[in-house]
Amino acid sequence: LKLTTIPLRRALSRSMLSGDSLRRSFRHAVVESSSLPPAERLIMYDACDSQEVSQSLGGSAGYRKRLDARRGNKPKKADNQRDVCTPFDHAAFNFSKISNQREILAVLPEYNILTNRFPLFPGHCLLTAKALVPQQLSATHLSAIVRLVSHSGFSAYFNSWCASASVNHFHCHLIDELPPVAQQRLVSGPRVLGEPTLRPAESSGSCYVFGASQLGLVGRAVSAMQAENQPHNLLFTPLHIYVWPKPLQRPARSFDLYPETVGGPELVGSFTVYTERDFAKLSAAAADELVRINTAPLPERLLSGGDDTRPATAPAAVEAASSSSDESDSEAGPPPKQPRTAVRACQSLDSLSLVKLLRSGSGLDELTLPLALSKSCLNRSGGLEVS
């Protein structure tokens, strides 16, 4: 398949963008890869094929466990992560160095959507930044994820550095399902900077759930965690954003209960193991304990209702990541005279700015796909089929 891209801007209105084209692209890559030797595959296997063993863990949380030995062949990440805001390392692997350009499922002005060679979920792929920036959320990244999720119907989860991320180049995981934690009922949660939040009723850990209109508050919470070197995982659904602050060190007890790092996949409710022994051992009680001991409260200054605008003490990498802006940042006003910290960048993205972003179609109307796939996604009137 020759990767020839065409702009969809002329064919599509912003309101017509959906996840149907991405689903088709993903399915095509799975089918194509199935006939290739492992070294040439875009996707090693379909996470939801006949070889997957999946079972509900029972209990009120609705978590599940999966047995998939194939995932165990994924290269292990180095266990040398110490700082959430570790600077970008040009010598290390990043997503601009992928060996096969056919791994690109779709192209956005500031991001690519890539295949995930070792998927854990239906339609599991990666949203990656074209800019060479570290694995740190900024106002720009937050708004891009929210917009993509709202238009595609996918969910997305983010692992910070020190919280299960294996590549220090900005990316988040797109999955074509509403994961188990997002199917729990929501109840009143702690107030963050004086604003109400929700929490999953059956979750045993520290989880803060924000409405999509609270994106500015989410940014302030993320900035505070970055400044205090607190790892974090997030889940984005079309309606809510889930935030799990974490302890810097993985509790020793966690290794006794589960052989893998507890990150985004586990916190959204899916625990994958590679041996039948570990599969049989994993219980609902163990999953509940894993979520509880691998999460932690937000920084106290956010929960006390105090002012979070004091100067952050985060490394310079935070400022570098959040100072790379696009039109969404400029709408909130002129840049400050001093270099912006992550706190200031995220504070500028209030709910009104988010509404403007969602209505503007910033960037996503320029989605491009492989030519052979794009044609199959167009209906007779020239618009994208809406799922």
Q: Alpha-carbon distance 257 to 359, whole Å?
A: 46
Main-chain dihedrals φ then ψ at residue 242, nearest 5 degrees: -100, 135
pLDDT of residue 78: 60
Q: What is the pLDDT of residue 48?
A: 87
| Global pTM value | 0.78
Residue-level pLDDT at 346: 31
C-alpha dihedral (175, 177, 178, 181), degrees to nearest 10: -70
Of 147-156, 181-190, 235-244, 312-321, the range with the lowest mean pLDDT is 312-321
Q: Cβ distance 95 to 128 under 8 Å?
A: yes
* 7-16, 34-43, 183-192, 254-263: segment of lowest average pLDDT: 7-16
Q: What is the pLDDT of residues 140-152, one digit of tens each?
A: 999 999 999 999 9
Between residues 300 and 364, the one the model is more confident about: 300
Regarding predicted confidence, which is higher, 376 or 203? 203
The whole-number average pLDDT for the span 29-46 is: 92
Q: Which residues pair with 273 in a beta bridge?
A: 67
Residue 132 has a pLDDT of 98
Q: Please give the average per-residue pLDDT across 279-301, as a whole number.
A: 97
Pairwise pLDDT comparison (198 vs 347), residue with the higher score: 198
Which tokens in the block code for residue 98?
């992928």
Alpha-carbon gap, residue 89 to 131, rounded angstroms: 13
Average pLDDT over residues 122-141: 97
For the purposes of burial, counting CB atoms within 10 Å of the CB of 251, is it exposed (0-12), middle (13-18) or buried (19 or more)? Answer: middle
Does residue 132 contact residue 88 with C-beta atoms inside 8 Å?
Answer: yes
User: Residue 366's pLDDT band (boundaries 50, 70, 90)?
Assistant: very low
Contacts of 119 (CB under 8 A, 6+ apart): 43, 44, 45, 46, 47, 125
Query: For residues 320 and 133, is the Cβ–Cβ distance under 8 A?
Result: yes
pLDDT tens digit sequence for 191-219? 999 999 999 999 999 999 999 999 999 99
pLDDT at 183 over 90: yes
pLDDT at 302: 97
Which residue is associated with the tokens 């239906």? 122
Q: What pLDDT is attached to residue 321?
A: 35
Confidence check: pLDDT of 3 > 70: no
Yes or no: say if 79 and 162 are a contact pair by the CB < 8 Å rule: no
Q: Is the pLDDT of residue 18 over 80?
A: no
Top pLDDT among 337 and 32 is at: 32
